[in-house]
Amino acid sequence: MMSSAADLIAQGLHGAGVRHAFGIPGGEVLTVLEALDRVGIEFILTKHENAAGFMAEGAWHAAQAPGVLVATLGPGLANAVNVIANALQDRVPLIFLTGCVDARDAVTYTHQVFDQTALLESITKASFTAADGAVDVIIDKALAIALDDPPGPVHIDVPISLAAQEQPGNAQPRRAPVSRGVAGGMQLDRARQWLRAAHNPILIAGLEALGHHAESAVAEFVTELDIPLITTYKAKGILPEDHPLCLGGAGLSPKADTILLPLLSQSDLIILAGYDPIEMRSGWRNPWPAETRVIEFSGTPNHHYMHQASLNFCADVGASLKVLAAEQERKAHWPGGEAGAAREALKAMFQAGEQWGPATIIAVARECAPRTTVASVDSGAHRILLSQMWECYQPRTLLQSTGLCTMGCAVPLAAGYKLVASDQPVIAFVGDAGLEMMLGDLATLRSMDTPIVVIVFVDRSLSLIELKQRHNGMPNLGVDFAGTDFVKVAEGLGLHGLWIDDAKRLRTELKDALVRRQQPTLLACRIDRKAYDGTF
Ligand SMILES: Cc1ncc(C[n+]2csc(CCOP(=O)(O)OP(=O)(O)O)c2C)c(N)n1
C-alpha cells in the first residue's frame, strides 16, 4: 500500500513510541493531523503553541518517547519560538512539525510566508523541509538527531501539497541504535587509583545521567562506595533525597552555594556524572580549585568551558561508573564529617520558619503529597525556594525549565505528564505572573479533564525581579501589579478554585484535591509581597 508523506512521518513517530501530539492546527497541517490520527497518535488541542510544546515535554518525561509539537506556518511557528529554545537548552527531544507553502508558490505568494528555517536555525539541532522521495529518511534522521546526545528539538517543515502526495516509502535503511562507549585505558587506571586514594570524594550528577538511563548506576555507585551526592535540579531524586548521602539540588540558590561550594573546595576527588552545567548559575563557573582531581563522564566533549576536569571521558555515564567502581573497596569517606555537617546545615537553612508564607506552603504540600507525586514548578522566586526544599524520591519527579528558565512552563508540563501517567498525583507550582502569562492553560486542563492541582503563589509581584531591583538599590518599577481574582478565573474556566490563607486549610484542601476530587483544582495561596526575602 502506498503512503503519503504525512503518513510516513506519522508512522516514523509511532514507531518511536509517540502516542500523543500537541498543538494548534491551521489549514496547512490538516493532512498531518489526519495521518497522526490514522496511526493512533492522539492530537491534543491547546490554547498556545508554547504550552503545547511544554505538554509534549511533560509527556516525554512520563513516556520516554520524543515529544511532538504541531503548529501551522507563520504565526503558529513564531508562537513556538520560546518552547523550541527551551527544548534546546533543557535537552528535550522534540519533533516540531509545521506546514509551509510549496516552493513554487513561495516565489509569488507572501501572505504569512517567511524563512521559517532561518528563524529556527539558532534554536534547533536541525531543520528540514520534507522533500519528495526522501520523507522516510527525513523522519528517521530527525528522530535520531533529536535523541542523540545532547537531545534537543528538530524541525520538519512539510510543504502543503507534499503532505498528501504518495511516496515510495520506507525504501531506505534506518539508522541502527548507537551504543555509547565505556571509559577504559590508562586514563581509567588513573581514575581508579584516584578513587582508591580519595578521602573526601564527592559526586555531582546532572541531567545527562537521566538521558543515559544511569539513575540506578549513580545511586549504586554512591551508596556502595559511601560518596556524598550533589545533583542539579533536573537530576533531583536520582537518590531519594532523604538518604543520608544526598546533599540535595544545586543550581540557583546563592544560600545553598555558601555550603556546597566550600565543600567542593574540601574535596580531594570530584566525579562528574552527566553533569551539564547549562542548569547552573554563574557561581558554578570553575567552582573548584584548579588543582582538584576531577573525573568527568559525559556524552559530549566539554565545549562549554564552565568548568574543567582533569580526566575527561566521553562515554556512557552508567557503564563508566560501573567500571570505575570495579575492584574498589568500600571505606568510610569524609572522616572529618564535613559532608554530613553540610547536609544538616542545608536542611536547617531551608525549613519553613514562618507561620504562613512560601516556605510553609512548600513544606505543607510536600508533607501532604504522596512520595510518588510528580511536581512541576515555574520560573521565579518560588522556584528557587521550592527546588531547594522539595524532596524528590524518584528521578524526573520535579519538572521545570532549568536551562532557559522560562516562565509559563509549569502548568503544561504537569498536564502533559498527567495525560500519560494518569495514576500519578501531579501538582504544578506557579507564580501569579507566570500563571497570568498562560491563563489559557487552565482552559486546556478543563477540556482535557486533567485532574492536576495548580498551586499559585499570589503576591502581586514579579518577586524574583523585584528582589534583584531592591538589592541593587533601584526604584520599584515594572515589577508589582494589581491582584487577580484567581478563584473567579478558575471557576470561569471550569476548574475548582479556592483561596488559601493558612496552613491548616492548605493541608485539608490539598489532600482533598489529590485524593477525592478528580477535577482540576486551583489553590490560590495569598502571601505578602517581599515574602521571599532571605529565603534562598
Ligand atoms: C518568558 C519569561 N519572561 C521573563 C522572565 C524573567 N523573569 C524570571 S522570574 C520572573 C518573575 C516571575 O514572577 P512570578 O511568576 O509571580 O513568580 P515569583 O518570582 O513572584 O515567584 C521574571 C519576570 C522569564 N524568566 N521568562
The pLDDT tens digits for 52-70 are 999 999 999 999 999 999 9
pTM (whole model) above 0.85: yes
* Predicted local confidence at residue 422, as pLDDT: 96
For residue 358 and ligand 1, the question of a CB distance below 6 A is answered with no
| Separation of CA 54 and ligand 1 centre (Å) | 17
Looking at the predicted structure, is the pLDDT value of residue 169 above 80? no
Q: Do 160 and 259 touch, CB atoms closer than 8 A?
A: no
Which among 376, 464, 469, 479 is the best mutation to test ligand 1's pocket, defined by most ligand atoms within 8 Å of the CB?
A: 464
Query: Do 251 and 355 meet the contact criterion of CB atoms below 8 Å apart?
Result: no
Which residues are CB-contacts of 478 (< 8 A; sequence separation ≥ 6)?
none
Pairing of strands 3-4, 166-167: antiparallel
> Is the shortest distance between the CB of 20 and ligand 1 below 6 Å?
no
Q: Distance (Å, rounded) from C-alpha 289 to C-alpha 267?
A: 10
Average pLDDT, the chain: 97
> What is the DSSP annotation of 259-312?
HHHHHHHH-SEEEEES--GGG--GGGSS-S-TTS-EEEEESS---S-SS--SEE
Q: Give 353's pLDDT tier (boundaries 50, 70, 90).
A: confident
Give the distance (Å) from ligand 1 centre to CA of residue 266. 35
Q: What is the pLDDT of residues 496-521, one digit of tens each?
A: 999 999 999 999 999 999 988 889 99
Structure confidence at residue 1 as a pLDDT band (50, 70, 90): low
The predicted-structure confidence for 249-293, as pLDDT tens digits, reads as follows: 999 999 999 999 999 999 999 999 999 999 999 999 999 999 999
Rounded CA separation 420/399 (Å):
15
Ligand 1 centroid–CA 464 distance in Å is 7
In the prediction, which pLDDT does 173 show? 84
Over 90: is that where the pLDDT of 311 sits?
yes
- For 171-196, how does the pLDDT look when each residue is reduced to its tens digit (9 = 90+)? 778 899 899 999 999 999 999 999 99
Residues 121-156: pLDDT tens digits?
A: 999 999 999 999 999 999 999 999 999 999 999 999
Is there an atom of ligand 1 within 6 Å of 461 CB?
Answer: yes
How confident is the model over 92-108, as pLDDT tens digits? Answer: 999 999 999 999 999 99
Residue of higher predicted confidence among 168 and 225: 225
CB atoms within 10 A of CB 65: 19
With contact defined as beta carbons under 8 Å apart, do 267 and 204 qualify?
no
